[in-house]
Amino acid sequence: MTAPADLSSLLAVAGEVLDAASQRFVAGRGAPRSVNKGPNDFATDLDLELERRISTELERRTGIAVHGEEFGGPEADSGTVWLLDPIDGTVNYSAGLPTAGILLALVRDGDPILGLTWLPFVGDRFAAAADGPLLRNGRPQPPLQPAALADVMVGVGSFDIDSRGRIPGRRRLEVITELSRRVSRLRMHGSTGVDLAYTAAGVLGAAVVFGHHPWDNAAGVALVRAAGGLATDFAGKPWRIGSGSVVAGAPGVHEEILDIVGSLPGPVPEEDRIP
């Protein structure tokens, strides 16, 4: 088992690796689609290049294997493994929008224990061990304070009304519609990493993530927990690898959103159901 002192060292090494990759990340802004992955989903050559580069350096320096979005790797729900998304918000990145970043988590037996979200275009770097504190550009941040949904902004995931995925488009629209009635403002950034990092920092009161991909969610979950927030699935179970959704937020806000999600008719993703 990785000791706490080792976690501090691993966090520092991981930050150095992401710092070294950031210049290339910035230089590749606007990279075109090169690999089709599904409807409205693709990778660029920079996704592939950065994943190879970061994975190789992490494994060399830490001896821990990497599971990346593009090339896969060891299973993330057992043992200790790095989980990497080399470009979160690829559509934004390819279009030239600054809401894109590099996400990296260290996961032990399915639970994120380190999280790093690097946003090179805006000069923000978030890092933490799951028990805190949250570091923003190397500086410890104050813990999140209880808040009310009516007083905060909430980041929500994008949706296609005709989507028939784990959380269908119409179910997503129901959640967004009801949130819009009770929240100060909704924001759709097109990047799960951005939503979760700024939730951890207290800029957003919460983030609602409809996607289940662990490389999108693990780093931000660790950051939110480090900041004193809560991160669960739609059923209120603590988020871990295999969860089908994320509700992450400050105390108070998180509970209000769970109440909204739970009050709506319609199916909950299979992996989010309470046995």
pLDDT single digits (tens) 57-84: 999 999 999 999 888 899 989 899 999 9
pLDDT single digits (tens) 248-270: 999 999 999 999 998 876 555 54
Q: What's the longest Cα–Cα distance across the chain?
A: 50
- Mean of the pLDDT values across residues 2-27? 90
- Mean pLDDT (the chain, rounded): 91
DSSP string, 92-137: HHHHT-S--EEEEEEEETTEEEEEEEEETTTTEEEEEETTS--EET
Q: Which residues contact 246 (CB under 8 A, 6 or more apart)?
A: 192, 196, 207, 208, 209, 217, 220, 221, 231, 232, 233, 239
pLDDT single digits (tens) 101-116: 999 999 999 999 999 9
How far is Cα of residue 247 from the mean position of the Cα atoms in its chain?
Answer: 11
The residues with which 35 forms a beta bridge, in sequence order, are: 43
pLDDT single digits (tens) 132-146: 999 999 999 999 999
Lowest mean pLDDT among 162-171, 180-189, 266-275: 266-275
Q: The dihedral of CA 67, 121, 91, 201: what is its sign?
A: positive
Residue 54 near residue 104, CB atoms below 8 Å:
yes
147 φ, ψ (degrees, to nearest 5) = -150, 170
More confident call, 127 vs 40: 127
pLDDT band at 1 (very low <50, low <70, confident <90, very high): very low
pTM of the model: 0.92
Cα-based distances in Å from 20 to 11, 99, 130, 171:
14, 20, 24, 41
